[in-house]
Amino acid sequence: MEEILKYTYLLDSKKLDETLTKMWERYQHILENPNWDDLNEARAILYVIGYLFPEQIAPEAIKRRLHLLSEPLEELDFYQIVDSKNKDEQAKRKNDALFLEMVEYYKVVKSFKNKTNKGIWYLDEDRFVEIYNKYSPDQSMKIGRFGEFDKDDK
């Protein structure tokens, strides 16, 4: 988590990608070789790369920098320009180094938030939930999607 914050502050997309990749690989390794202790680590990884980072930390990091752009933007305008691949708007900002850094940062964030491997839900959460519930020492407590207890999301 510390590295995620560090590379967010620095807007170092390459190092952020490397850090998130390590976490994703560790998460996948745990799903392939589960035990109860490691599954709780996987749960923490899922929470960080699936919710806390992409839904809270990253948007706030982008929002806090928008006024620093050579032509400041509102938050929704930034996402619309990037997500729609608006060539005209992006061409106007091709010399704005901060804008370009923010675009790369956002692309890294989005690529991890939407990642899957062998699962159906983002971040293979469906696989995680099934494995976590199977290994849980308290079979009366089942988790569902988003880590909520006693929810059946199938």
- Please give the full DSSP string across 30-46, using - where no structure is assigned: HHHS--HHHHHHHHHHH
pLDDT category at 150 given cuts 50, 70, 90 is low
pLDDT in tens, 96-107: 999 999 999 999
Torsion, Cα of 42, 44, 50, 56 (10° steps): -170
The neighbouring-strand residues paired with 149 are: 143
pTM of the model: 0.82
CB atoms inside a 10 Å sphere around CB 147 = 16
d(CA 46, CA 4): 14
Task: Give the confidence band of 137 by pLDDT, cuts at 50, 70, 90.
Answer: confident
Q: Which helix (H) or strand (E) holds 22?
A: helix 13-32
